[in-house]
Chains A and B, each alone.
Chain A
Amino acid sequence: MMGLFGDFEEAHDAIADIRRNEVPGLTVDDVTMTSPIEHPEVEEVLGDRPVHIQKFTLFGAIFGVVFGFIFLAAAQASFLVQPQGGKPVIALPSNIVLVYEMLIFFAVWLTFFSFIFLSGLLKKRSSLYSEKVSLDQVAIIVEIDESIGESVKGLFEKHKVLEIREEAIR
């Protein structure tokens, strides 16, 4: 079920009521809020939901350093067959510059891919998506059992919901 609200405060209060168990059988874990702008304040009522992107960033950065150094060192090692004129085969100062670039290169790409997968992009949009969310309205989407449908509607109406839509999931 989706309820569309005219402003964020009303949606926030509705989620706060769900958190206070005003509808038995419905918890904030079943709630998704969609909004035209970012509202970090909603985490006060939705609870702390973890974000793991930074782990992928760290992995990308470490991979960039390790792969970068091995790649460069392996390529430079092929110079062993050539006279070096006293210079080191694997030149650390110049490799640091290149490894630094590869650190950022892989970290940025992995951050991007992890964002796409972890934030649930590339999925088909549900019919409950309302284009008004991209304008100025805030939606609360809840996955509920049919038996508590009326209670949820009542809660939404208490907070001046503008529109309610329902979709059956089999």
Chain B
Amino acid sequence: MTMVTEKDINEQIAWAKINTDVLKSMENPRPAYWVTLAVCIAMVACAVLAEYIQYTVGMGTADLNNPHMWDMYIAAFVFWIGMSHSGTLLSAILHLIHADWRKPIYRFAEAMTTFSLLTAGIFPMIHLGRVWNLYWVLPYVSDRGIWPNFRSPLVWDAFAITTYLTASMLFLFVGMIPDLAICRDNTTGWRKKLYGILALGWIGSDRQWRHFRKIYLLMACFLIPLAVSVHSIVSADFAMSIMPGWHITSFPPYFVAGALYSGCAAIITLFVLLRYFFRFEDYMTLPIMEKTAKLTFAIAMVWTYLNLIEFASVWYGHDVYNKELLIAKATGAYAWIFWTMLFCGSVLPFALAFRKLRRHMPTMFVVSLFLNLGMFFERWMIVAPTLSMSHEPHQWDIMYGSIVEWAIVFGSFGWFGMLFLVFVKVFPSVSMYEVKEMVFHRKRSAGEEDLARMTDHAKPVTQTTGGGGA
């Protein structure tokens, strides 16, 4: 009996239809798109109001005081940096291993990378309090000729995130050039002007494609170690200190795994939304969702393993502060966050192991939201308990964040959503030329297989193959 494999995409889909469908999505989304955009803008408005209060009244309104000098803002910063790893994973890593099912969905994952970084970049500014001094986060020489301390992981952050942001934006832009040319050739008015400028005169010549292939490969090769280094450096913000719960060797891989995990979960969320908003059922298909879900499940298990490693090394390390902190995480004031994190991060992903659930879009949407809730709690559990229970017992304190802090964090989701939704309305969220390539090559290989099968059947049977003969 032969097993019929469901195809990732319909190979018979006409190229003209690919252009039409994607271009139409930029003009005519479902009403739910506008509702979601309005909700995001309202969330941003909440954050702006909260920031205004914090700006005029002072940092005390955010409950930022000794020992909680970082807390929610740094947790949100780490969360958004983590989210940015989705594009690198789906675009660069899967590109290098020739997983062509990524082609219909990698564009929005790359856009997620850029907008997540732009969202993450806001938090150091907000945390400064004096936002007019935001340039202080950049490494520059002061008027006394003194440079920042290059041994500090916070300075490494500035270098790493600047590099990652520029590299991921260039990667996104370069990958879009052929599609921008398609948009240029098929639109009118302001869109034609915009795409005409951004397409940089692309005509699809063999010379351009040859160079395009090379740059895409080179940038993918750079982006992978860059993404790993960025989140390792973010983990160094904590691990380079001697605070209990932070000074842990496995922090860099733990952060990278957590980043890939939250990125994958966010891809599932946006996959479901875009598929519905833009009627992309022909491109964001169920088999592609299944593959994304399986990938997320695999990464969830890596993350779970790294959690267990961390717990085991703390437990058997017998460092009294670390051990007490671990016990406090599981049984103290933050216990409900700790167990929710473990449930969402390690137990809930088992839903992704069931085919029926992987193919049910509403379920996947809800599961992906809870996975990211778990990931946000993970960041909260990294930051808050250590600050609450450091080496000095007289400083011990519990903190859940003020309404101002929560409003700004809440608004950051709106900010990300707003940027993302505007992007997918202005630029093609499905890569047209890559989907055409996918269809072309799959059709061709299917044709070659058919031809080989017909040739085999046409051959006279002169010898037996295999060794099972009686």
Do the two shown chains form a genuine complex with each other? yes
Chain A positions near chain B (C-beta within 8 angstroms)? 32-40, 42-43, 46, 49, 51, 53-54, 57, 72, 75-76, 78-79, 87, 91, 94-95, 97-98, 100-102, 104-105, 107-109, 111-112, 115-116, 118-125, 129, 131, 133-136, 141
Identify which of B255-263, B422-430, B433-441 touches chain A.
Answer: B433-441
**Residue B383, interface by CB 8 Å:** no
A35 and B146 CA atoms in complex are apart in Å by 55
B205 in contact with A53 (CB, 8 Å): no
A120 and B206 CA atoms in complex are apart in Å by 11
A141 and B203 CA atoms in complex are apart in Å by 12
In which size bucket is the chain B interface?
35 or more
| 10 cross-chain pairs, A with B, having the tightest CB-CB distances, nearest first | A119-B211, A136-B15, A131-B185, A75-B147, A115-B215, A121-B200, A38-B209, A105-B163, A134-B182, A101-B159
Secondary structure at chain B's binding surface: helix, strand, loop or mixed?
Answer: helix
A14 and B159 CA atoms in complex are apart in Å by 51
B201 in contact with A123 (CB, 8 Å): yes
Q: A75-B150, A136-B16 are in contact. Are A125 and B222 (CB under 8 A)?
A: no
B170 in contact with A108 (CB, 8 Å): yes
**Residue B460, interface by CB 8 Å:** no
A141 and B208 CA atoms in complex are apart in Å by 14
A-B pair count, CB < 8 Å, reads 156
**Residue B70, interface by CB 8 Å:** no
A119 and B144 CA atoms in complex are apart in Å by 46
B147 in contact with A104 (CB, 8 Å): no
- B211 is contacted by which of A118, A123, A125 (Cβ under 8 Å)? A118
A38 and B19 CA atoms in complex are apart in Å by 16
Q: What would 20 A/B residue contacts be, using CB atoms closer than 8 Å?
A: A34-B205, A36-B204, A37-B437, A51-B210, A91-B150, A101-B160, A101-B226, A104-B226, A105-B166, A107-B222, A108-B163, A115-B174, A115-B211, A124-B201, A125-B201, A131-B185, A133-B203, A134-B19, A134-B204, A136-B15
**Chain A residues with Cβ under 8 A from B162's Cβ?**
105
**Chain B residues with Cβ under 8 A from A135's Cβ?**
15-16, 19, 182, 185
B214 in contact with A37 (CB, 8 Å): no
**Chain B residues with Cβ under 8 A from A39's Cβ?**
206, 209
Name the residue on B nearest A58 (C-beta).
B218
**Chain A residues with Cβ under 8 A from B159's Cβ?**
97-98, 101-102
B208 in contact with A57 (CB, 8 Å): no
**Residue B225, interface by CB 8 Å:** yes
**Residue B413, interface by CB 8 Å:** no
A120 and B52 CA atoms in complex are apart in Å by 49
**Chain A residues with Cβ under 8 A from B163's Cβ?**
101-102, 104-105, 108
**Residue B233, interface by CB 8 Å:** yes
Closest chain A CB from B188 CB (angstroms): 13
A100 and B228 CA atoms in complex are apart in Å by 12
B203 in contact with A37 (CB, 8 Å): no
**Chain A residues with Cβ under 8 A from B46's Cβ?**
none
Closest chain B CB from A132 CB (angstroms): 9
A122 and B177 CA atoms in complex are apart in Å by 12
**Residue B167, interface by CB 8 Å:** yes
A91 in contact with B151 (CB, 8 Å): yes
**Residue B181, interface by CB 8 Å:** yes
Name the residue on B nearest A117 (C-beta).
B211
Closest chain B CB from A129 CB (angstroms): 5
A55 and B204 CA atoms in complex are apart in Å by 23
**Residue B156, interface by CB 8 Å:** yes
A98 in contact with B156 (CB, 8 Å): yes
Q: A34-B206, A94-B156 are in contact. Are A100 and B229 (CB under 8 A)?
A: yes
**Chain A residues with Cβ under 8 A from B19's Cβ?**
134-135
A111 in contact with B218 (CB, 8 Å): yes
**Chain B residues with Cβ under 8 A from A122's Cβ?**
200-201
Name the residue on B nearest A99 (C-beta).
B159
A104 and B139 CA atoms in complex are apart in Å by 18
Closest chain B CB from A154 CB (angstroms): 23
A131 in contact with B212 (CB, 8 Å): no
A53 in contact with B215 (CB, 8 Å): yes
- A37 is contacted by which of B145, B218, B433 (Cβ under 8 Å)? B433
A94 in contact with B150 (CB, 8 Å): yes
Closest chain A CB from B196 CB (angstroms): 10
**Chain A residues with Cβ under 8 A from B206's Cβ?**
32-35, 39, 42-43, 46, 49
B167 in contact with A49 (CB, 8 Å): no
A32 in contact with B207 (CB, 8 Å): yes
Name the residue on A nearest B179 (C-beta).
A134
B201 in contact with A104 (CB, 8 Å): no
Name the residue on B nearest A75 (C-beta).
B147
**Chain B residues with Cβ under 8 A from A125's Cβ?**
201, 203
**Chain A residues with Cβ under 8 A from B145's Cβ?**
78
Residue-wise, chain B 166-177 has the 8 Å CB interface mask toward A (1 for contact) of 110010001001
A95 in contact with B205 (CB, 8 Å): no
A91 and B11 CA atoms in complex are apart in Å by 57
Closest chain B CB from A12 CB (angstroms): 11
Residue-wise, chain B 305-345 has the 8 Å CB interface mask toward A (1 for contact) of 00000000000000000000000000000000000000000
**Chain A residues with Cβ under 8 A from B204's Cβ?**
34-36, 133-134
Name which of A32, A46, A87, A97 has the most chain B CB atoms within 10 A of its CB. A97
